[in-house]
Amino acid sequence: MPASFHPPVRTLMGPGPSDVNPRILEALSRPTIGHLDPVFVGLMDEIKSLLQFAFQTKNALTLPVSAPGSAGMETCFVNLVSPGDTVVIAQNGVFGGRMQENVERCGGTAVMVKDEWGTAVDPQKVEDALKANPAAKVLAFVHAETSTGARSDAASLCELASSHDCLTIVDTVTSLGGIEVDIDGWGADAVYSGTQKCLSCVPGLSPVTFSERAAEVIKARDHRAQSWFLDLELVMSYWGEGAQRAYHHTAPINALYGLHEALLILHEEGLPEAWARHRRNHTALAAGLQTLGIEFVVDADHRLPQLNCVRFPDGIDDAAVRKALLGQYQLEIGAGLGPLAGKVWRIGLMGFASNQKNVLLCLGALESVLLQQGEKLEAGAAVAAAQASFAS
């Protein structure tokens, strides 16, 4: 006989989703009202304003797409890339490859600029590609590559694109709320993110923002976007300005309650304070990992504090360690992807999950499981190193 589903209580320290703040869980449980209810329309306007705060932008075309971050990615591409367009894509991990898929499905030509996984995008390679493809319409890149934990220089890449009269499409799925994202300062044109990473909300929504220049390109299109659901000219009839909204789709009302609460929490903490908290917890985690013989894939200058991609010692059974962490400690960390599969762990310190308690739990649990696997370690050293870092 089927029964109600009651999931175990886990500590989520993988690449996402991250732990959801209890305030957000409470917000999700509030009464559902209609998606055209005047009260809900007022909430929509607040969400847009709070997203502008989080993105650091004044873009009028800022909203949450009613689907996960992958749909935010697709929203940017289907609205800006037309058949025959050339798009330069900087790839240094999994998600640059997904950008290529989007371009080709839109009928465009993708010019790939590839860097080694675990490194930042090389601006010189990008500039060379833009010079070699003067007809390129868009430069697309990932700001914070979730598959490797590498951060690229968004400001420099956006400046390069602008100097070559290119639009930019930027992935900030893992960066928004965890490190600085400055859309207006960068001069970025189309940017997407997700709710399940550093915003600590549930999966299922994708914040996006488009510059005035990008919005003009969308308005000037002489053909319909290939996706009806993601066509911003249609979506904006619902998410536009004013009290009168036209029905486009039934919005995920309770999920939007959760996003509003998540953005409110970020606003209360403050952006610089949130970025500093992620950095502080990362530094303590790194100190502890060093005592376990665990090394980072990414160099310190380009390392994401919220997504720690690390190589474990030789001879360690990757899957067995992660299984033991989940079974013995209810702790989830992530495996590697692509060429890093079986070689790395991805340890998330994102949003609500980025706290001292989780850092110490993770280090203590990892040390215990590694000792069980026969590693020669000094018991208690990892937690002690992290505590010393917090105290400094």
Strand order in the sheet with 86-91: 61-65, 206-210, 190-192, 167-171, 138-142, 86-91, 109-114
DSSP H helix total and E strand total for the chain: 14, 15
The pLDDT tens digits for 334-377 are 999 999 999 999 999 999 999 999 999 999 999 999 999 999 99
Confidence of residue 281 (pLDDT cuts 50, 70, 90): very high
- Mean pLDDT in residue range 245-256: 95
Give CA 272 to chain center in angstroms. 18
Helix axes 69-80 and 94-105, enclosed angle (nearest 10): 40
The pLDDT tens digits for 167-183 are 999 999 999 999 999 99
The pLDDT tens digits for 251-265 are 999 999 999 999 999
Q: Specify the domain boundaries for CATH 3.40.640.10 within the chain.
A: 21-267
Helix axes 381-391 and 356-372, enclosed angle (nearest 10): 160
Check residue 229 and report its DSSP letter. Answer: T
The pLDDT tens digits for 141-159 are 999 999 999 999 999 999 9
What burial letters (b/e) apply to 237-252, b meaning 16+ CB within 10 Å? ebbeeeeebeebeebb
Which tokens is 209 given?
């923002």
Question: What pLDDT sits at residue 62?
Answer: 98
Apex 180 CA angle, 177 and 181, nearest 5: 80
Question: What pLDDT sits at residue 240?
Answer: 86
- Mean pLDDT in residue range 62-79: 97
Say yes or no to pLDDT of 243 above 70.
no
d(CA 360, CA 275): 20
pTM exceeds 0.75 for this model: yes
The domain made up of 21-267 is a member of CATH 3.90.1310.10: no
Question: What pLDDT sits at residue 244?
Answer: 76
CA nearest 178: which of 351, 4, 5?
Answer: 351
Q: How many CB atoms lie within 10 A of CB 225?
A: 22
Say yes or no to pLDDT of 228 above 80.
yes
Apex 361 CA angle, 360 and 366, nearest 5: 100
By percentage, how much of the chain surpasses pLDDT 70?
99
Q: How many CB atoms lie within 10 A of CB 59?
A: 23
DSSP string, 77-122: HHHH--TT-EEEEEESSHHHHHHHHHHHHTT-EEEEEE--TTS---
d(CA 358, CA 322): 16
Check residue 303 and report its DSSP letter. Answer: B
Within 8 A by CB and 6+ apart from 241, the residues are 60
CATH superfamily entry for domain 271-391: Aspartate Aminotransferase, domain 1 (3.90.1150.10)
* Helix locations, 220-331, DSSP H: 232-239, 253-269, 271-291, 318-329
Q: Which residues pair with 86 in a beta bridge?
A: 109
d(CA 55, CA 283): 25
- Mean pLDDT in residue range 51-57: 98
Q: Specify the domain boundaries for CATH 3.90.1150.10 within the chain.
A: 271-391
d(CA 84, CA 104): 10
d(CA 335, CA 147): 9
Q: Is the peptide bond before 17 cis (omega within 30 degrees of 0)?
A: yes
Give CA 56 to chain center in angstroms. 16
User: Is there a contact between 199 and 16 (Cβ–Cβ < 8 Å)?
Assistant: no
User: Is there a contact between 344 and 307 (Cβ–Cβ < 8 Å)?
Assistant: no
DSSP string, 144-180: EETTTTEE--HHHHHHHHHHTT-EEEEE-TTTBTTB-
CA nearest 17: which of 180, 170, 173, 209?
Answer: 173
The pLDDT tens digits for 298-321 are 999 999 999 999 999 888 999 999
Helix (H) or strand (E) holding 27: helix 22-28
Question: What pLDDT sits at residue 241?
Answer: 75
Strand pairing of 109-114 and 86-91? parallel
Q: Which residues pair with 62 in a beta bridge?
A: 209
Average pLDDT, the chain: 97
Say yes or no to pLDDT of 392 above 80.
yes
